[in-house]
Chain A
Amino acid sequence: MTEKEKSLTAEELTFRVQRYEPTRDEKSHLQEFVIPFTKGMTVLDGLNYIKEKIDNTLAFRTSCRMGICGSCGMLINGLPKLACHTPVEELGKDVVEIKSLPNYGIIKDLIPDLIPLFESHKAIKPYILRSDSEEMEEPTAEYTQSPQELEEYLQFSYCVKCGICLAACPTSATDVLFLGPQSLAQAYRYCADSRDEGVRERTAIVDSGHGVWLCHLAGACSEACPKGVDPALAIQLLKRTVLAQTLRLRKKKEPSLVAPPPAEEKPKLPVPEFTAKR
């Protein structure tokens, strides 16, 4: 019987959880909890069990429990994952070690300090930048965009800001000031948007000592990303954009235009009598 099969029949699981109480502890330690195993349970289910039935002082972030909010990023058996998206059976062990995401400070127990992530995200101006500020303030209609133009950046717009990519990134492990895969990928997401005119502005931000060139393509961010965003690809494409912008080789492209007013609507066909509800 393999270890994975054994875990399927295990009745109990051991959760080794990192604990850190800022008002009391100087450093963190691991605490063991033994919990019952139920088929299909996720790591988050286990943590909720501990919080509800064993120790209500355990602190962790959680919200949607379905991989949408990005709150429950944790280091699970040595790899950063979303706790709600990690079935215990998939880990193949009945001992699960859960720690706070590395490369961030720890506020308490399993709660990482994500402020640096959000600050970097804000720094790259994650919104459409346009020269027609009047239209941006008082929009008359949407900007047009073809399905092909949408596909240029769509993959990168699925980011849930869980911070897992920074926990996986070896550059973030040693450079606290590195912008990080999340914000760099988002910089490309906006630069590649046909409605945007902010490449020059964002180049000035990411083409810095702790910016895009510090990414040396370890690819761990893309491997760890729970949403399939592929930040490593976005960052490499951003490098190309930044280089072309700096060397003035970038083809000048007009940004998307405002959608024309809709043509006069054709009168709708009358609903046949026999389908109309009485």
Chain B
Amino acid sequence: MNVAEVKKKPLKNYLGIWGWVWAGRYNVERYLYTLQRVTGLGIILYGILHLTANGMRISGEGLWEDTMSLFENPVFAVGEYLVIAAFLIHALNGLRLILQQLGYTLGAPKPPIYPYSHALQRRRPIVLAMGALGAILLLLILIDFVV
């Protein structure tokens, strides 16, 4: 075996985007990380569609009416509900992230005594409370949509 062969570059082994989607039985925060990004992208996409659709108004009332009638079908109603859900999840989780990313609500460092616990695990009730609040609000909005 010659030296050049041994010095071959290591084989790439990054999880990539797939690592965001699924990387094992991790706790809820790791998947909220992904959900925050997905909902963020969804809101941006909606923003572009929203501005484009509203921009039609400049081109005259006829085109505006046609565009609006396009949206009057169940697929867009479901889409609208998903946008609200994305916004709600992004906002509630975002508030938690703003606080926790500046070290608030996480508590002070603790000596690692077995079995180990970590700050996010100790503060899991915050995530659960946020989830419960989000679920209640989403249910109320759903009732409002259906009725």
A233-B109 in contact (CB<8A):
yes
In the complex, A153 has a CB within 8 A of chain B: yes
In the complex, B73 has a CB within 8 A of chain A: no
Given contacts A151-B109, A154-B109, contact A219 B20 (CB under 8 A): no
**Chain B 2-31: CB-based contact to A (< 8 A → 1; otherwise 0):** 000110111111111101100111110110
Q: How far is the CB of A66 from chain B (nearest CB, A)?
A: 13
In the complex, A27 has a CB within 8 A of chain B: yes
In the complex, A40 has a CB within 8 A of chain B: no
Q: How far is the CB of A194 from chain B (nearest CB, A)?
A: 14
In the complex, B60 has a CB within 8 A of chain A: no
Given contacts A219-B120, A239-B101, contact A173 B20 (CB under 8 A): yes
* Number of residues from B at the complex interface, CB < 8 A: 46
In the complex, A164 has a CB within 8 A of chain B: no
- Distance, CA A107 to CA B11, complexed state (A): 7
Contact check: which of A20, A27, A170, A239 meets B30 at CB < 8 Å? Answer: A170
A176-B30 in contact (CB<8A):
no
Question: Which residues of A have CB within 8 Å of B15?
Answer: 102-103, 170, 173-174
**Chain A 230-268: CB-based contact to B (< 8 A → 1; otherwise 0):** 101110110110010000000000000000000000000
A173-B33 in contact (CB<8A):
no
- Distance, CA A168 to CA B108, complexed state (A): 23
A232-B26 in contact (CB<8A):
no
Q: Can you give 7 A-B contacts (C-beta < 8 A)?
A: A105-B13, A155-B111, A156-B109, A173-B14, A219-B27, A236-B101, A237-B109
B residues adjacent to A (C-beta < 8 A): 1, 5-6, 8-17, 19-20, 23-27, 29-30, 32-34, 36, 97, 100-103, 106-114, 116-121
